[in-house]
Amino acid sequence: MAEDAIAAANVRLQELGYADRDLAVHPGPRGKALLKGNRIISPFSDDAALVLRVVETLVPPEAELGTRLLRPASLRATLAE
């Protein structure tokens, strides 16, 4: 299940215009997934299904993000709303 969510998140990130070095989801320790790359200040780590949800609903297209960087704390705060 985790590998499927990670693969789906990476496909979605590519659809949004991100290169792997700029933003990608990687398997992490203890079954977690990591959203990391040059376009996020620090890795966002959580359950693979939650990381997929973040990618699908909160990560803007690369062109829309412009020169800004994603902030994990902002992503978590938006999830809590």
Express each pLDDT in 54-66 by its tens digit: 999 999 999 999 9
Nearest partner of 40 among 56, 57, 14, 18, judged by Cα: 18
**Sequential DSSP letters for 16-65:** TT--TTTSEEEE-GGGEEEEESTTBSS-EEEEHHHHHHHHHHTPPPHHHH
Per-residue pLDDT, 63: 95
Give the global pTM: 0.92
Tens of pLDDT, residue by residue over 5-44, are 999 999 999 999 999 999 999 999 888 999 999 999 999 9
Q: CA separation (Å) from 7 to 4, 36, 58, 81?
A: 5, 14, 17, 27
| All structural domains of the chain with their residue ranges | 2-80
In one-letter notation, the amino acid at residue 46 is D
